[in-house]
Amino acid sequence: MSTRVLVLNGPNLGRLGSREPDVYGSTSYAGLVARCAQLGAELGLDVEVRETNSEAEMVGWLHEAADAKTPVVINPGAFTHYSYAMRDAAAQRTAPLVEVHISNPYTRETFRHTSVIAAVASGTIAGFGLGSYELALRALAEQLTAR
């Protein structure tokens, strides 16, 4: 029986492949979904990937994960820097939660240097392109095995 994991993506991540490929790479969102599902299967994880441009929807997904004790990989996108509602929802986690970023926020604009999510996450992985998701899934699998 595999462990269910939610991979949650915030605003504009559904535009991967066409949005600033010099920053976010040329792989499409569908490619990200496929990579996460494939690696999840290899790790014994049942990975469900979601994307939203809605802060309210993301908060609802975090509540769902907390209620079901579901581990989460989250790329909050722009919500990272200012969404206290999302931070408060993430703080209610009942399973590991790993924050990911495709680019390294600390090498970009100053406003991207602050994450309101990081303080309530199990850990943060950033700057490895879509590989950040793979590292996060591997970290989750390791944490879940250690439990």
Domain ranges across the chain: 3-76+83-146
Supply the mean pLDDT for the chain: 89
* pTM > 0.75: yes or no: yes
Give yes or no: 101 in active site.
yes
Provide the b/e sequence for 64-98 (b: ≥16 CB within 10 Å).
ebbeeebbbbbbbbebbbebeebbebbeebebbbb
Quickly count: other Cβ atoms within 10 Å of residue 124's Cβ. Answer: 18
Tell me the backbone φ, ψ of residue 120, rounded to 5 degrees.
-110, 5
Q: Which one from 84, 101, 106, 133 is the annotated catalytic residue?
A: 101
Q: What is the pLDDT of residue 107?
A: 67
Q: Mean pLDDT lowest for which of 36-40, 91-95, 108-112, 131-135?
A: 108-112
Above pLDDT 70, what percent of the chain?
87
Annotated binding residue at 46? no
Give yes or no: 24 in active site.
yes
Q: Between the CA atoms of 104, 108, 111 and 113, what dihedral angle is there, to the nearest 10 degrees? A: 40
Distances (CA, A) of 97 to 81, 92, 94, 138: 17, 10, 9, 12
Annotated binding residue at 75? yes
Annotated binding residue at 22? no
For the segment 39-54, the average pLDDT, to the nearest whole number, is 96
Q: Residue 24 above 60 pLDDT?
A: no
Q: Which fold has domain 3-76+83-146?
A: Rossmann fold (3.40.50)
Annotated binding residue at 112? yes
